[in-house]
Amino acid sequence: MLLYLAETLRDYLSSLNVIRYVSFRVMAEFITSFVVCLVVYPWFIRALQSRAVKQPIREDGPKTHFSKAGTPTMGGALIIVSILLSSLLWADIKNPLVIFTLITGLFFSTIGFFDDLRKLKSKSSKGLSVKVRLFIELAFVVLIFFVFLKFYGPKVRYDTRLFIPFVSVEKFWIDLGAPLYVALGALLIVGIANAVNLTDGLDGLASGPVLTSAGTLLILAYITGAKLGSFDISKYLLIPKVVGAQELSVVASGIMGATLGFLYYNAYPAEIFQGDTGSLGLGGMLASIALLTKNELLSIIFFGIFVFEALSVILQTGYYKLTKKRIFPMSPIHHTFELLGWPEPKIVVRFWIVSLLLALIALASIKVR
């Protein structure tokens, strides 16, 4: 919104030209979303407490979690709202990549909201049916991604080629074709959105990997779409080119700011939980940016913590159905570390460290190519 205002008034107020620079709007969006969360959360927490919006505790979970009963949940609603508001202010809201990301994030957050609402009404940790929820999510992503690919793909030089990490785009790629590529994109978005949801089981645990993933995507989005004068960054670095992808770096900075503002109140011991409302929405946005910047395979590296958590659940569930035995004492995997006697803050910080290392490995792929 402010970008178009600056374009309109730049002949009268030359100082507004600074808004045209992506680097300025990245910083502005980060500050905006961070301040909104930092300032509004105290009121939001009191409002949730007054309405008894309290986190249901998993009955078969670690005993240490019973002390968290009564902590307000659905705090992720403010995260998503702050990202949307700051993006409307600072990002190019006509950019189809931005529209796709924000709509996807809002949709997944809405699904999470109804899931949280179901848990509150039933006063248990069981929300919507997993099969029904996954079907709705997959159907939505397939539809919106197919529409994007057909009507906007050619405009932004986005195609169905799959590029291999650490390899030059000029050397090797696989063209999957529209049906298979849409299926892959849908699986990536739905999978990561739900993986972030599974990771959000300890105070501050999901926030660290969200921050490192968003920071990685901020850099990848910028170099994928930006040009410095006549210098094409993506061509120089031998990575895929997506026209307008630099605007996604503005959205990524909003995710970082909002998550950091939330973490101020979610750090151990948490004053508020984000619930499925926040974790599904954040996961949907992060995965959308990874997909739209042509980092479908590379994202598996910097989303490593989320993937690890999701795999622990899939393996545990599958193995138990086959043998009636468990691979891990408890899944997701962070609960296993709790049962081994690791203090919650230690688990969280160590997961953050691994997430940071994975982000650095992913970013190293830029130069290795």
pLDDT band at 60 (very low <50, low <70, confident <90, very high): low
In degrees, rounded to 5, the angle at the alpha carbon of residue 53 between the alpha carbons of residues 51 and 57 is 150
* pLDDT tens per residue across span 291-337: 999 999 999 999 999 999 999 999 999 999 999 899 999 999 999 99
The mean per-residue pLDDT over the stretch 354-362 comes to 97
Please state, in angstroms and rounded to a whole number, the distance separating the CA atoms of residues 275 and 290. 23
The fraction of the chain above a pLDDT of 70, given in percent, is: 95
- Please state whether the peptide bond connecting residue 269 to the residue before it is cis, i.e. omega within 30 degrees of 0: yes
The mean per-residue pLDDT over the stretch 102-122 comes to 94
Domain limits for position 264: 2-368
pTM for the whole structure? 0.95
Please state, in angstroms and rounded to a whole number, the distance separating the CA atoms of residues 83 and 109. 12
Structural domains counted in the chain: 1
Given this model, what pLDDT does residue 64 score? 64
pLDDT band at 13 (very low <50, low <70, confident <90, very high): confident
The more confident residue out of 130 and 42 is 42
Across 38-55, b (16+ Cβ under 10 Å) vs e yields beebeebbeebeeeebbb
